[in-house]
Amino acid sequence: MIVCFDIGGTAIKGGHAYASQDIRALPRLPTPANDFEAFTACLRQVIGAAEAKPRQIALSICGIIDAQTGKAVIANIPCLHGRALQEDLEAALGLPVLIANDADCFVLAEAELGAGRGHSVVFGIILGTGVGGGLVVNGALINEHGGFAGEWGHAPVAATSAGTPPASLPRFQCGCGQHGCIDATCSARGMERLHQHLHGEMLSSENIVQGWIAGDEACKRSIDVYVDVLSAPLALCVNLTGATIIPVGGGLSNAVPLLEEIDKAVQARILRPFGRPLIVQAQCRMEPGLIGAALAGLRASRA
């Protein structure tokens, strides 16, 4: 048995995992974002509720472990940011600790238990508050030891002309410090920026998608431009990785017609014809970070 966690900026989701099909989630706890001692006390509370001493602790985090330094990059949990987190947690908890990025945990869950079952190369993507992703090859995360692989949302590659007919687009400022990232243009907030740029009005991403489905001309134009911007770099990711399925999570994944439109645009731009949907809604809709952490932890404990 292992204890797994999905660590977010506002809540800690914990669970006890006995097997890949037997993951028992526990009530959420608020994240003590500024107090490391209080943070580890929350983890001990979940560990202490286990029936026996666990073999392993596994964490999904909303950040990155720098593979070169071993230090955590977690901007929204200051008490963890900049720490040699694995070492510090192992010292505090007295158990082996595995840490993985939340998008990596999402795609690991999809590869083993969700839409990616039976596929050798699974590239899972997040379309929501941010644009992220992770890569699983032959059942294993590329990022098993930390790092930035799969972060396709960050690079100055967003088109400055997109849609039919082409619209001129600015290179929006991204939270990572660059201009023109897919994250800045194609996240939920990015979709809202696009709509405001094109039409001079601010609408929520939910209302833009709903308006597009209902046939609103302004929303149709915004989605046309959005899909054009998104599909080119995503097609490159497919060609580069050889992924044969792309499960999508995040808030925008709830709009299945939008995923179908993205799928159509990506498949028109890749080298390999599939003849079936490639971009699909994720199947692990509940707690994919916790599930992915459990799967990674169970595998590490067996090794």
For residue 286, pLDDT over 80 is answered with no
Confidence bin at 63 (pLDDT 50/70/90): confident
Are residue 208 and residue 126 in the same domain, yes or no? yes
- List pLDDT tens digits, range 92-134: 999 999 999 989 999 999 999 999 999 999 999 999 989 999 9
Q: Which residue has the higher pLDDT, 289 or 67?
A: 289
Residue 232: inside a domain, yes or no? yes
Cα(292)–Cα(288) distance, integer angstroms:
6
User: Same domain for 273 and 295?
Assistant: no
The whole-number average pLDDT for the span 239-261 is 96
Q: Residues 70-89: what's their mean pLDDT?
A: 90
Does 134 map to a domain?
A: yes
Q: Which range (140-149, 206-215, 268-277) has the least confidence?
A: 140-149
Q: What is the pLDDT of residue 175?
A: 84
pLDDT of residue 143: 80
Q: Are residues 70 and 128 in the same domain?
A: no
Verify that 37 and 59 share a domain, yes or no: yes
Total structural domains in the chain? 2
pLDDT of residue 11: 92
Nearest to 63 by CA among 46, 82, 47, 49: 82
Same domain, 127 and 201: yes
Give yes or no for residue 277 having a pLDDT over 90: yes
CATH of the domain at 71: 3.30.420.40
Determine the pLDDT at residue 66. 85
- At residue 58, the pLDDT reads 95
Taking residues 234-263, what's their average pLDDT? 96
Residue 193 has pLDDT above 80, yes or no: yes
Check whether residue 167 and residue 19 sit in a common domain: no
The answer on pLDDT for 235 being more than 90 is yes
CB 85 within 8 A of CB 100: no
With cut-offs at 50, 70 and 90, classify the pLDDT of residue 62: confident
Does one domain contain both 59 and 189? no
168 in a domain, yes or no?
Answer: yes
Tokens read off for 199: 């039409």
**Domain-embedded: residue 14:** yes
- What DSSP line would sit under 71-90, residue for residue? -EE-TT-TTTTTS-HHHHHH
Paired strand residues for 192:
none
Contact 188/205 with Cβ under 8 angstroms? yes
86 and 161 both lie in a single domain: no
Q: Does residue 169 sit in the same domain as residue 249?
A: yes
pLDDT recorded at residue 144: 75
Mean pLDDT value across the chain: 93
- Calculate mean pLDDT across residues 220-240: 97
Mark whether 51 and 134 lie in a shared domain.
no
Full domain range(s) for residue 90:
2-105+286-302
Residue 76: band (very low, low, confident or very high) from pLDDT cuts 50, 70, 90: confident
The number of CA neighbours under 13 Å toward the Cβ of 258 is: 32
Averaged pLDDT for residues 145-167:
89
Q: Cα 99 vs. chain centroid, distance in angstroms? A: 15
Judgement on whether residues 153 and 270 belong to the same structural domain of the protein: yes
Residues 137, 80 within the same domain: no
The mean per-residue pLDDT over the stretch 213-224 comes to 98
Average the pLDDT over 180-196 and give the result: 96
Answer whether 125's CB lies under 8 Å from 248's CB. yes
pLDDT of residue 67: 80
110 domain-assigned? no
In a domain, 111, yes or no: no
Question: Helix-strand-coil percent breakdown of the chain, rounded to 5?
Answer: 40, 20, 40
Residue 259 is assigned to a structural domain of this protein: yes
